[in-house]
Amino acid sequence: MDISQEPGGTGVMVIEPMGNAGRFLVEAAGRLRLRLYAATHKTIHDGYEPWLRESLAGVCFTDLSDTDRALTDMEVFCREHRVTGVAACWELLTPLAALLADRLGLPGNDPRLAAAARNKIAMAGAFRSAGVPAPRGAVVTDARHAHRVAASAGLGWPLVVKPAEQGGSWGVSVVHGPDQLDSAVAAAQRYTTARPHGLPLDSRVLLQSYVAGEEYSAETVVCDGVPYALPVVRKDTTAGRYRVETGHTCPAGLTRETTLAVQHTAARAALAVGVRNGIAHTEVKIPPGAGVPVVIETGARLPGDNICEIVEAATGVSEAVAHLRAVTGRLPDTTPTRDAAAAIRFLLPERAGLLEQVAIPDLPGTHSETYIRPGERVPEPTDSSGRIGHVVARAHTIEDARRLADRVIAGTRVKVN
Ligand SMILES: Nc1ncnc2c1ncn2[C@@H]1O[C@H](COP(=O)(O)OP(=O)(O)OP(=O)(O)O)[C@@H](O)[C@H]1O
Ligand SMILES: [Mg+2]
C-alpha cells in the first residue's frame, strides 16, 4: 500500500489532527507509509496525547483562528517539507484546507464553495442551487425574528433550531411550539467562538422544517471530482428536544435500492459543497413512505464517532486510507473485503452531575472506552459532550452486533450524583 513515490516520500498536512478522526488518519498514514504533519496552536499541541505527538513528522505552529496568518505559515511550512496533500479533521477547518491546497496547487476542494461545507446557511444555499433534497428553512438573527418567521414562513411544527456553525449537536433543538423558541434560539447562539482554536462563529440561526424518519450517514470519497460511494451507516439518536447520537451500525440494513439512493444523494451533497479531492460525511433522513433521502448536512471531512472503525470492522474498507489517497490525488479503493457487522453505542448519563462510578462489562466481541472519569463532572446530555464513553461490538450480522452492544450498555453501571 506504499504510495510514497516522491523523493523523500509523500507528506500530508493535517489541519488539527486532534479529535476523533485523527487516530484513524495516523493509522492510515502508517499503512500508506506517508509522513503526517500537523498545523495547530502551541497550547493545543502541548495537550496532545503522546501517541499523536510521536506520530507526527513535524508541526506547523500557527493561529488557526487567523485565516491569513495560518495560510501564510502553513504555505511556507508545506513547501519546506514537500507536502503533497492537505486534510482537515474538524468541519470548521475544512475551508482552510481547501484554501491551502489551492495556494499550493495541490489536489483539494473547490475554495469558492468550501464555506458551504462549514456553514449550514451557505450549505442550504449550495443544496438549493444543486437541487439536493434538503429541509425547508429560514435564517433568523434573534428570538423575536424567530417568532416572526415561525409564524409566517410555513415551516410548520416541530421546528429544528440550530446554529449556523457548530457540530456534535451543540445548540440543536427540536421545538414543538412558540413557547420553546426563545430558549432554543438562546441555545443556538450560546457560543460565539468554537473550541479549541477560538474560531469566530456565525451568530445566525437556522430554522428548519422537521424531517421525520430513520437517520443514516454515508461517506463519499471524491477523486478529481469523481465520487466513489462508501458503506451506509444507520444512526440512532435520542428522540426528544435534543438529538444526541446514541449509536451507529454498519451495514445499515437497507435494501440495495435504498442503499444506492442514500449513496447517490450523499454524493450529490458532497459535490454541491465543492468536495473535489477528499472525503465527505453526509447525514440523511428517509421520511416514512417517501423512500427519498433528505440531506440533513454534509461535511468535507472524515466522520467522527468512531464511524471509521465500525465501517472497517464491518466491510474492510478504510475510510481514512481512502481519504489520504484522494487528498494526494490517488484513486481510492472502496471495494468491501469483509461481510460482517459492527455497532457503536454511546453511554449517556440521565442527568448532569458528578460521575461517581462507571463500570462497563467486558463481553467477548466488544471493547469499550470512557472519556469522563470518576470524580469529573458529567454535563447535561443535550449534545455529544455529555457522553461518558462507548462500546463497539463486532459480529457476523447486524442484529447480533446491535444486540451485543445493547447488552453491554444494559449491563453498564453508572452512578452520577
Ligand atoms: N431538519 C431536521 N429534521 C429532523 N431532524 C433534524 C433536522 N436537523 C437536525 N436534525 C436532528 O438533529 C441532529 C443534529 O443536527 P445537525 O446534524 O444539523 O447538527 P450537528 O451539530 O452538525 O450534528 P453532528 O455534528 O452531531 O452530526 C441530526 O443528526 C438529526 O437527528
Ligand atoms: Mg449532524
Residue 200: CA count within 13 A, CB half-sphere: 4
Answer whether 168 contacts ligand 1 (Cβ < 6 A). yes
Answer whether 91 contacts ligand 1 (Cβ < 6 A). no
pLDDT of residue 358: 94
Tell me the C-alpha distance between 297 and 284, whole Å. 7
Tell me the C-alpha distance between 218 and 280, whole Å. 8
pLDDT of residue 381: 86
Answer whether 273 contacts ligand 1 (Cβ < 6 A). no
CB 16 within 8 A of CB 89: yes
pLDDT of residue 4: 52
Closest by CA position to 176, among listed 202, 194, 157, 148: 157
Closest by CA position to 323, among listed 314, 334, 336, 332: 332
Kindly list the protein residues that place their beta carbon closer than 5 angstroms to ligand 2, a single-atom ion. 283, 297
Answer whether 243 contacts ligand 1 (Cβ < 6 A). yes
CB 190 within 8 A of CB 171: yes
Other C-beta atoms lying within 10 Å of the C-beta of residue 154:
10
Largest CA distance in the chain: 64
Tell me the C-alpha distance between 299 and 120, whole Å. 10
Eight-state DSSP code of residue 117: G
b/e 316-340 (16+ beta carbons within 10 angstroms → b): ebbbbbbbbbbbbbbebebeeeeeb
Other C-beta atoms lying within 10 Å of the C-beta of residue 20:
17
The C-alpha cell that represents 156 in the structure block: 410548520
Give the distance (Å) from ligand 2 centre to CA of residue 211.
13
Domains of the chain as residue ranges with CATH: 11-108 (3.40.50.20), 136-209 (3.30.1490.20), 345-417 (no CATH)
pLDDT at position 128 over 80? yes
Burial class (CB in 10 A: 0-12, 13-18, 19+), 51: exposed
pLDDT at position 255 over 60? yes
Answer whether 296 contacts ligand 1 (Cβ < 6 A). yes
CB 172 within 8 A of CB 161: yes
pLDDT of residue 167: 85
Supply the residue whose CA is at minimum distance from atom 13 of ligand 1.
243
pLDDT confidence band for 203 (50 / 70 / 90): very high
Answer whether 161 contacts ligand 1 (Cβ < 6 A). no
Among the bound ligands, the one closest to the CA of 165: 1
CB 133 within 8 A of CB 293: yes
The C-alpha cell that represents 347 in the structure block: 453511554
- What is the per-residue DSSP string for 29-66? HHHHT-EEEEEE-HHHHHTS-HHHHHH-SEEEE--TTS
Answer whether 129 contacts ligand 1 (Cβ < 6 A). no
pLDDT of residue 291: 76
Residue 281: CA count within 13 A, CB half-sphere: 23
Mind listing the pLDDT tens digit for each residue in 327-369?
Answer: 999 999 999 999 999 999 999 998 899 999 999 999 999 999 9
pLDDT of residue 385: 86
Pick 295 or 350 by higher pLDDT.
Answer: 295
- 76's CB contacts (< 8 A; 6+ apart) are none
Mind listing the pLDDT tens digit for each residue in 300-318?
Answer: 999 999 999 999 999 999 9
Average pLDDT, the chain: 95
Q: Which residue has the cell 422544517?
A: 209
* Ligand 1 atom closest to the CA of 135, numbered from 1: 1
* Ligand 1 atom closest to the CA of 120, numbered from 1: 18
